[in-house]
Amino acid sequence: MKTTKFTVGALSALLFVGTLALTGCGTNNGSSGAADGSSDELIGVINVEGSDTIVNMGQAWAEEFMDQNPGVMITVKGGGSGTGIAGLINGTTDFANASRRIKDSEVDSAESVGVEPFEHTVARDGIAVVVNPANPVGALSTEEISAIYRGEITNWSGLGGDDMDIVLLSRDSSSGTYEFFKEAVVGEDAEYAREARLLVSNQAIVDETAGNEAAIGYIGVGYITDAVSVLEVDGTAASVEAVLADEYPISRALYMYSDGEPTGAAAAYLEWITGSEGQRIVEDQGFVPLG
């Protein structure tokens, strides 16, 4: 399990009452069982919130872990990476799911209220660039995609496609995928074109692309379906295999953030996620397991 400590001030106190450890948003994450989450004696309540990219995978993790540990209750909500990190800072969630790294400004906000964000890498992902299956364009360069999303290329005819205006689809600004794609493709000092339609989820982009011949969008590899066509980017199409081989140019890590090192049931859950059972679910969900 990869864990990175962000130094944001004095270490937040961890309070212990009997054998029950109180962490994150103050839920009961105590444990009298094994750290791998295999014991029936493991007990606690764990709240998870954040990235919509991770939400389905997070729900699958939670359901299987709770099946194995009936004494643990896990709730999982989406809302975007920024929402999850805000919940961690506000003390309303134990884990913030994020498809981007925490920002310096968020670390500063956490420090101001005594929260110490710890970063845990839980999976990997590639960002697939997708179009409608009727679109004859099958490949683009990173530079061409960047120009499209900056609004500098506005018609498919300039890219070998039909004469129709490009319909830009993007995740909304609370999304970690929005932030990552901006930095990795659009340009850190650039902005998305005003014409870009901001959609609330990966599935919304899939649905809109499938129904609009002129659309282009971007989604996590776990959301690829036959309803859309995946473009080659710099000669390689997004896939689990391409990300594992470090051959696909638009790839990233996926994270869970906690307030300090998790303890009790939360620690057992995180260890289980990054172990063989949790990583099997990563593969089942179409994402890329840790190496």
pLDDT tens string 75-102: 999 999 999 999 999 999 999 999 999 9
Q: What confidence tens digit (pLDDT) does each residue in 237-276 have?
A: 999 999 999 999 999 999 999 999 999 999 999 999 999 9
* Tokens 């506000």 sit on residue: 90
Do 2-123+254-284 and 125-251 share a fold? yes
Tell me what pLDDT residue 30 has: 47
Structure token pair of residue 107: 């670390």
> Could you say which of 1.20.120.80, 3.40.50.620, 3.40.190.10, 3.65.10.10 is the CATH number of the domain covering 2-123+254-284?
3.40.190.10
Reduced to 3 states (helix: H, G, I; strand: E, B; else coil), residue 244 is helix
* Tokens 């710099």 sit on residue: 234
Is residue 108 packed enough to be buried (19+ CB in 10 Å), middle (13-18) or exposed (0-12)? exposed
- What are residue 74's phi and psi, to 5 degrees? -120, 130
Sequence length of the chain is 291
What residue segments make up the domains of the chain, in order of their start? 2-123+254-284, 125-251
Euclidean distance between CA atoms 125 and 212, whole angstroms: 25
Among candidate residues 240, 291, 288, 284, the one with its CA nearest the CA of residue 61:
284
Q: Which of 29-33, 63-67, 177-181 is predicted with the least confidence, judged by mean pLDDT?
A: 29-33
The topology under which CATH files domain 125-251 is: D-Maltodextrin-Binding Protein; domain 2 (3.40.190)
Tell me what pLDDT residue 188 has: 83
Predicted TM-score of the model (pTM):
0.77
Tell me what pLDDT residue 254 has: 96
